[in-house]
Amino acid sequence: MEVIKKKSAGCFVIKKQKEEYFVLLQKKNWQNGTIGWVPPKGSIELNESEKTAAKRETREETGLQSISIIKKIKENRYSFKENNKTYDKTVVWFLATTTTMNLGDKNLTRQEKKTQKEVEWIKVDNALDLLVFEDEKRILEEVKQLIYDGKIPDIK
């Protein structure tokens, strides 16, 4: 069976509001029936950097226009099957912040319109219980630890 390699990029966007930290997540409904919360991410386009793709996908999927990348935090790799094809996927994750919690108009593809249900700022502690994928929970747990250890002072 053919294995198709895919690469995506996304952001864990963190915002501090009145001494609490929030993360920007979207609730999705996949074709296999899974429903859950995930950070924004998507495919890297031809000749696009990982960082640019992460910001573009976050803008398109959430409507958030003001995105400041702080640093690359993780690269995940996993495989999945869809439509009788096997995919080997790599996702590059960035930690980002913003100056606003206001979400503008989204620019979703037809497929994204079918799967995306909501976009919300969720308290980091609550988000850990809502994230559907274990690898993303581990990343957010690492981000939370960095924030509370004072190792990421750039969070606005």
* Within-domain flag for 18: yes
Domains: count for the chain: 1
* Within-domain flag for 155: no
* Within-domain flag for 128: yes
Determine the distance from the C-alpha atom of residue 118 to the mean position of all C-alpha atoms in its chain, rounded to a whole number.
14
Question: What is the pLDDT, as a whole number, of residue 116?
Answer: 57
25 has pLDDT over 90: yes
Range of the domain at 77: 3-148
* Within-domain flag for 156: no
Question: What is the pLDDT, as a whole number, of residue 19?
Answer: 85
Mean pLDDT, rounded, for 97-117: 67
Question: What is the pLDDT, as a whole number, of residue 36?
Answer: 87
* CATH code for position 21: 3.90.79.10
pLDDT tens-place string over residues 117-154: 688 899 999 999 999 999 999 999 999 998 888 877 67
* Within-domain flag for 154: no
Mean pLDDT, rounded, for 8-33: 89
* Within-domain flag for 153: no
Question: What is the pLDDT, as a whole number, of residue 28?
Answer: 82
pLDDT tens-place string over residues 47-105: 999 999 999 999 888 888 899 999 999 999 988 887 788 889 999 999 999 988 877 66
Q: Which candidate, 67, 88, 85, 86, places its Cα nearest to that of 76? A: 88
pTM confidence score: 0.87
Q: Which candidate, 63, 49, 48, places its Cα nearest to that of 13? A: 63
Which distant-in-sequence residues (6+ apart) come within 8 Å of 150 by Cβ? none
